[in-house]
Amino acid sequence: MMAQQNDKGESGAGRLHRRMLDAVGEAIASGRYEPGYRLTLDALQREFGVSRTVARDTMRVLETMNLVTSRRRVGIVVQDPAQWNVYDPQLVRWRLTSPRRDEQYASLTELRIAVEPLAAAGAARRASATQRIELTRLAADLRRLGESGDLDAFLDADIAFHRLILSSSGNEMFAALEGMVAEVLTSRTRQGRMPFHPRDEALDAHERAAAAIARGDANDAEASAREILHEVRGALNLS
């Protein structure tokens, strides 16, 4: 009867609950809604001009990410960051586009340093034949693109290289970090945060890692991956 004043009129059309989710999620992730801040469904549906259904769905999703808890009579309470489900890719994205992006970047980089060497070792043991070949090809591409100076193409190849190591590691927990690594690498280049001129050592290490994985040498693969990440280490204020 007098329902839809908003869904078709908006550019986004469908997925209007996605817009609300992004808005609220980003607000919490960025700290604009502090821990302890109380929301109510009523306020939310008025603020976003949506129905109770959509507001409820949205809050339910944020609840499973542990961004909020909802209790009767008290409302929807923003939780302490320590409780958050920080591996949720959506939350990672929100945090990477917020003022606190630097913390997030540092944490993710440290996680990369932890995971990628073992992922490389796993790949050396468990990658398929085609994955090994593809990895070798990508290492060669990296060499070529690095020397040609095409940073965008280099970034793409670099992402593909690291993704492939993770996904062929045979460990789905590692593979699930694909998107995170892509995000971090992209962010690194885009921001010039880590002045980016691929050094010979790095290119060598990529090739050595690819070769080690190709011939199934887990130890060397792990060591080479560690070397790849060595320069990254400098970006964090540790060691």
Partner DNA sequence: CTCCCTCAAAGATAGCACCATTGCGTGGGA
Partner DNA sequence: TCCCACGCAATGGTGCTATCTTTGAGGGAG
Does 7 bind DNA (CB under 7 A)? Our answer is yes
CA–CA separation, 178 and 162 (whole Å): 8
Instruction: Figure out which of the listed residues 52, 190, 199, 215 binds DNA, where binding follows CB under 7 A.
Output: 52
Does 231 bind a copy of itself (CB under 8 A)? Our answer is no
Does 225 bind a copy of itself (CB under 8 A)? Our answer is no
Shortest reach from residue 174's CB to a copy of itself, in Å: 7
CB 213, CB 124: distance < 8 Å: yes
Q: Which does 218 bind (CB under 5 to 8 A by kind): a copy of itself, DNA, none?
A: a copy of itself
Q: Which of 101, 103, 98, 89 is nearest to 26 (CA)?
A: 98
Does 46 bind DNA (CB under 7 A)? Our answer is no
Does 11 bind DNA (CB under 7 A)? Our answer is no
Residue 72, Ramachandran bin (φ over 0: left; ψ between -120 and 50: alpha; else beta):
beta
| Cβ-based nearer residue to a copy of itself, 61 or 203 | 61
Contact set for a copy of itself, span 177-216 (CB under 8 A): none
CA–CA separation, 163 and 179 (whole Å): 8
Instruction: Figure out which of the listed residues 8, 38, 60, 193 binds a copy of itself, where binding follows CB under 8 A.
Output: 60
The pattern of x and - marking residues 56 through 75 that bind DNA according to CB under 7 A reads xx-x----------xxxxxx
Q: Which residues bind a copy of itself (CB under 8 A)?
A: 17, 53, 56-57, 60-61, 64-65, 81-82, 84-90, 106-108, 110-111, 113-115, 117-119, 121-122, 125, 167, 171-176, 218, 238-239
Q: Which residues bind DNA (CB under 7 A)?
A: 1-4, 6-8, 13-17, 39-42, 49-54, 56-57, 59, 70-76
